[in-house]
């Protein structure tokens, strides 16, 4: 793989626990952004950002409209908006229809990230109860990106990673305790 441009992580039910185990282990000197899309209830905005920022030495913030995406930062998709990644490496927020009953949709972020980052993209799909993210993984792989799924045996809710493995022919299946090492290995500063 060429130098990693971004790691985009999607998840739903059961994925927050995974993130709270993995993110503290991420090297604070990584040379790419981590963008997280989690299905969550409206109004839980700052709670998620605060919870994650207390567990990592990386800067954590909710993604803003037209914000430039910076390396070494963790961005959280705002609740109730689709998070799009533009080709100039900025964010756009969109309030269009829900996809797979979800807004933000993991598919939307994975697909727009695939268009922006091409073969420098890594997408990871975690625990969840629907197939949101699977089509995005397919797009990422078509554009030369690396696609990852949580090992369903380690997921609280197995459906989402199972669908990723079944339908998206992911590059690699990772157990929770392998994820941070894998992400750290993508950085040229590790």
In 3D, which of 174, 96, 89, 165 has the Cα closest to residue 134?
Answer: 165
Q: Is 82 a catalytic residue?
A: no
For residue 38, the surrounding DSSP H or E stretch is strand 34-38
Phi and psi at residue 94, to the nearest 5°:
-135, 135
Q: For residues 106 and 59, what is the distance between their CA atoms, to the nearest angstrom?
A: 22
Q: For residues 183 and 181, what is the distance between their CA atoms, to the nearest angstrom?
A: 6
Q: At what angle do helices 106-117 and 134-142 cross, to 10 degrees?
A: 10
Q: DSSP 3-state assignment of 146? A: strand
Catalytic residue among 15, 39, 139, 187: 39
Q: Is 190 a catalytic residue?
A: no
Q: For residues 188 and 174, what is the distance between their CA atoms, to the nearest angstrom?
A: 21
Catalytic residue among 82, 102, 132, 187: 132
Catalytic residue among 12, 105, 139, 187: 12
Catalytic residue set: 12, 39, 132
């Amino acid at each position: 793989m060429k130098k990693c441009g971004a790691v985009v992580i999607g998840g739903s039910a059961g994925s927050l626990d995974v993130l709270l185990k993995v993110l503290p282990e991420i090297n604070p000197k990584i040379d790419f952004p981590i963008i997280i899309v989690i299905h969550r209830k409206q109004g839980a905005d700052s709670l998620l950002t605060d919870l994650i920022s207390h567990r990592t030495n990386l800067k954590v913030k909710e993604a803003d409209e037209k914000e430039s995406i910076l390396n070494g930062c963790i961005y959280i998709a705002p609740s109730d908006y689709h998070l799009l990644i533009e080709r100039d490496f900025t964010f756009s927020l969109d309030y269009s229809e829900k996809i797979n009953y979800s807004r933000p949709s993991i598919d939307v972020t994975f697909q727009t990230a695939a268009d922006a980052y091409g073969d420098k993209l890594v997408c990871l799909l975690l625990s969840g109860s629907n197939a949101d993210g699977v089509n995005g993984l397919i797009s990422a792989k078509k554009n030369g990106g690396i696609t990852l799924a949580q090992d369903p045996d380690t997921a609280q809710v197995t459906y989402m990673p199972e669908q990723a493995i079944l339908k998206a022919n992911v590059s690699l299946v990772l157990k929770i305790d392998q994820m941070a090492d894998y992400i750290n290995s993508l950085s040229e500063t590790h």
